[in-house]
Amino acid sequence: MSTDDAWSQYEAFGEGDRSTLTPRQRAVFAICDLRQEINSGGFDSYFRSWGGDTAPLALAALPEALGERWAMLLREGMQVLGPDYPASADARFDVLDSHNLDAVLDGLDERFYDLEAATDANDLIDAYLQAGS
Q: How many domains does the chain have?
A: 1
Asked if residue 12 is part of any domain, the answer here is: yes
Contact between 122 and 7 under an 8 Å Cβ cutoff? The reply is yes
Residue pLDDT, tens place only, 59-69:
999 999 999 99
Question: Which spans in the chain are helix H?
Answer: 6-13, 23-48, 55-65, 68-80, 89-98, 102-118, 121-131
Mean pLDDT, the chain, integer: 94
Asked if residue 87 is part of any domain, the answer here is: yes
> For residue 13, what are the domain limits?
6-131
* pLDDT the model gives residue 15: 79
Contact between 87 and 53 under an 8 Å Cβ cutoff? The reply is yes
Asked if residue 48 is part of any domain, the answer here is: yes
* pLDDT the model gives residue 16: 84
Asked if residue 76 is part of any domain, the answer here is: yes
Q: How far apart are CA 92 and CA 15, in angstroms?
A: 20
Residue pLDDT, tens place only, 69-85:
999 999 999 999 999 99
Q: How far apart are CA 35 and CA 10, in angstroms?
A: 12
**Nearest 5°: phi and psi at 80?**
-60, -30
Is residue 38 very low, low, confident or very high in pLDDT (cuts 50, 70, 90)?
very high
Asked if residue 1 is part of any domain, the answer here is: no
